[in-house]
Amino acid sequence: MDPVLDIQRLSIRYAGAPAPAVRDVSFTLGRERLGIVGESGSGKSTVGRAIMRLLDTAEITADRMQFEEVDLHNAPERQMLDVRGKRMSMILQDPKFSLNPIQRCGHQIAEAYRTHVKCSKSEARARAIAMLEQVHIRDPERVYDLYPHEVSGGMGQRVMIAMMLLTDPDLVIADEPTSALDVTVRLQVLRILDGLVRDKGIGLIMISHDLNLVRAFCDRVLIMYAGRVVEALDARDLDNAQHPYSRGLLAAQPRIGGTREPLPVLARQDSWLEPLEAQA
């Protein structure tokens, strides 16, 4: 099967920044679930936003940035308007900030649909309510008319998921979709997202700093450090990661039943900047 997304040697430098935030990142994505993990500032979110073409002022270079038949690197903004939100979308981190505070939740969901499909207001409303049901919201008619500050974080994130999956995209980028949520609702929200992604056969990029989460919900994992991909491997092989940085990350994880010794901290080395093949 053709890959949904093919990225080769993507580099991104923010305007005015001395060094690029992302360097030579390459990967392909089929209808699978790919996790990108790394610490804060490793460039993982920047990659997601570059794929959505949201970085207006940054300087982006790439050998190849292909989304299905769309050349993301050179597509005019007019074409991107047709791609964004319809064929690829993005779930943002915190519903407290990512939903428009003065518009009703339902209206915001329906807007996503009406932007790409010509239809009546009532049809968009029906679609939005059906979608709210799919994200397991029990009383969708009521939630439709609520303002974002009137719903909980978990429900807000489900509203976000509904909004982003309503148009049946081929690619969804989830940028830390649960790190702003209470621990108790994280799993629930992730299961909903996971179920929809599997049912609809969507390619998913899950950006996260949580190794366990990525292990549980992804097929493959990219590990990023300082703007580079240092290692790519199958999720089930995560424990056997070779790169010293990946191993350091794994070692720094607390375990139930583990020793009570202080957890090891990362002792950074310049050689980590080299990808795995170069590591002797």
Site residues for other proteins per CB under 8 A:
14-17, 52, 54, 77, 81-86, 89-90, 92-94, 97-103, 108, 111-112, 115-116, 147, 149, 160, 163-164
Cα–Cα distances (Å) from 97 to 120, 131, 156, 208, in that order, read 29, 21, 10, 18
Residue nearer to other proteins on the CB measure, 101 or 257: 101
Minimum Å gap between C-beta 128 and other proteins is 13
Query: CA 124 to CA 144: how far, in whole Å?
Result: 12
Other C-beta atoms within 10 Å of 189: how many?
24
Minimum Å gap between C-beta 29 and other proteins is 18
Cα–chain center distance at 242: 25
Cα–Cα distances (Å) from 32 to 170, 200, 219, in that order, read 11, 11, 7
CA distance between the termini of the chain: 34
Residue nearer to other proteins on the CB measure, 8 or 79: 79
Minimum Å gap between C-beta 101 and other proteins is 6
Minimum Å gap between C-beta 257 and other proteins is 38
Return the DSSP state at 8: E
Residue nearer to other proteins on the CB measure, 33 or 84: 84
Taking phi over 0 as left and psi of -120 to 50 as alpha, with beta for the rest, 89 belongs to beta
Residue nearer to other proteins on the CB measure, 101 or 262: 101
Residue nearer to other proteins on the CB measure, 109 or 229: 109
H/E stretch holding 109 reads helix 105-116
Residue 234 tokens, joined: 């199958």
Residue nearer to other proteins on the CB measure, 50 or 238: 50
Minimum Å gap between C-beta 99 and other proteins is 6
Minimum Å gap between C-beta 164 and other proteins is 7
Which of 110, 99, 100, 148 minimizes the C-alpha distance to 132?
110
